Amino acid sequence: MKKYNGMDDIPHRGKTVLVRVDVNSPMGKNNEILDDRRFKLHLPTLNELKDAKTVLIAHQSRAGKPDFTTMEAHAAHFTELLGREVLYVEDIFGSEARSKIGKMDDGDVLMLENVRFFAEETLTRTAQEHSRSHMVRKLAPLCDLFINDAFSVAHRAHLSVIGFTAVLPSIAGRLMEKEIEALDKALVDIKRPAVFVLGGVKAPDSIDVALNVLKSGAADYVIFTGILANIFLMASGIEIGDVNSDFIEKLGYRGEVDRAKEILKNFKDKILLPEDLAVLGADERRVEYPVNDLDPGLPIFDIGSGSIERFGEIIRSSATVVMNGPAGKFEEKEFAAGTEALLRAATSSKFSIIGGGHISAVVDELGLAEEISHISSGGGACLRYLAGESLPGIEALIK
């Protein structure tokens, strides 16, 4: 039973609805949207609000970044996708924004300015503290309902994520509900065997996930690839070479080796590590070595063909598979083999979840999106949810 209200629980027809979306996207030199996948994920929620007055709030990038810009292009792109005008308002909570909201009719949609233009947006505060901000005090009286549909920022205790929940009836949008329900199938309502495949470079977060799913019994096996595999190989006494151990040191992950030792000590039977690895050879080509016979001077860029075959079989025979992070340096074609093969294997599982970030882009490139049960919209939020952490955006909806 869900602990929060959703779009089926509170009527929204004829109401003024404030909706937090996340359409933070890659932008071109002329402020054009280069990737609109996040826009499309919000369409189910926004289409259901066709008889409401819909006010959108969102952010684009952050201060100091070249793509820290207005929401004008975002409003125009939503206009295109929704087939009805989304009016861009060059204001967040000033007189212009309040005037435009007050003149809305049912079916109207407007998008307010980048919420991160307001310095208090990114402060980490409680919902009650944020509710006393100028943004909430000015906008909340004009709205009947707050919808949080931005799972990908739910791990941040930012003003626009939690501030309105303290003063307005607040519900989860369709995307938020979909994310929570899908991830819960990997943590609570689990079909077995369940396999977690953790790679990429976010080692501390991924190790948190591993600890949570191993301690709770959610995972039958955890497969480590990428930097994580190197960390666990080091922890198991394998010499991976100075070039690779120095890279782990450079990332600030030396302490993760000790955590890996503890996990291996307590859950060794459930941990699967590569038996061979692909390195960048002297001639700049892919060369494979068994893990016990690595050339100490060559950087590890992928798992080897033996590991690809072994892991692939385990993933294909699983009922639930969760993959987060690539298996290697997938940007270089010669070293994309591990990531691509494991993703293809995941399509054979009864229920598959792909974490956000880079690995979801590979899913799109391979044309596998329709064969994956759930592709998360938020890398950081997804990892923290799987790690068993409380996400402020979700907790605020529950409260």
Report if pTM > 0.75: yes
Tokens 């952010």, residue located: 59
Instruction: Read off the CATH number of the domain in which 96 is found.
Output: 3.40.50.1260
Burial profile 159-182: b = 16 or more Cβ within 10 angstroms, e = fewer? bbbbbbbbbbbbbbbbbbbbbbeb
Is residue 355 marked as binding?
A: no
- Is residue 8 a part of any domain in this protein? no
Average pLDDT in the 208-225 region?
Answer: 98
Average pLDDT in the 296-307 region?
Answer: 96
- Amino acid 398 reads I
Is residue 77 marked as binding?
A: no
Both 160 and 216 in a single domain?
A: no
Report the alpha-carbon distance of residue 125 to residue 118 in Å, rounded.
15
Is residue 24 marked as binding?
A: yes
Is residue 60 marked as binding?
A: yes
Specify the pLDDT at position 172.
Answer: 98
Both 123 and 244 in a single domain?
A: no
Count structural domains, the chain. Answer: 2
- Is residue 89 a part of any domain in this protein? yes
Both 45 and 93 in a single domain?
A: yes
- Is residue 335 a part of any domain in this protein? yes
Average pLDDT in the 215-239 region?
Answer: 97
**pLDDT over 80 (residue 386):** yes
Is residue 42 marked as binding?
A: no
**pLDDT over 80 (residue 243):** yes
Q: Which of 182-186, 357-361, 377-381 has the lowest mean pLDDT?
A: 357-361
Tokens, residue 247: 């890279």
Is residue 116 marked as binding?
A: yes
Is residue 39 within 8 A of residue 78, CB to CB? The reply is yes
User: pLDDT (tens digit, 9 = 90+) per residue, 325-361?
Assistant: 999 999 999 999 999 999 999 999 999 999 967 888 8
Is residue 357 marked as binding?
A: yes
Both 206 and 314 in a single domain?
A: yes
Is residue 130 marked as binding?
A: no
Is residue 359 marked as binding?
A: yes
Specify the pLDDT at position 325.
Answer: 93
Tokens, residue 78: 């939503």
Of 130, 39, 57, 114, give the one whose Cα is nearest residue 377.
39
Cβ neighbours, 10 Å, residue 103:
10
Is residue 331 marked as binding?
A: yes
**pLDDT over 90 (residue 392):** yes
**pLDDT over 80 (residue 393):** yes
Domain extent at residue 296? 192-349
Is residue 19 within 8 A of residue 164, CB to CB? The reply is no
Is residue 344 marked as binding?
A: no
Kindly report the average pLDDT of the chain as a whole number.
Answer: 96
Of 24, 384, 21, give the one whose Cα is nearest residue 205.
384
Annotate 15-75 with DSSP letters as a single string: SEEEEE------B-TTS-BS--HHHHHTHHHHHHTTTSEEEEE---S-TTSTT---SHHHH
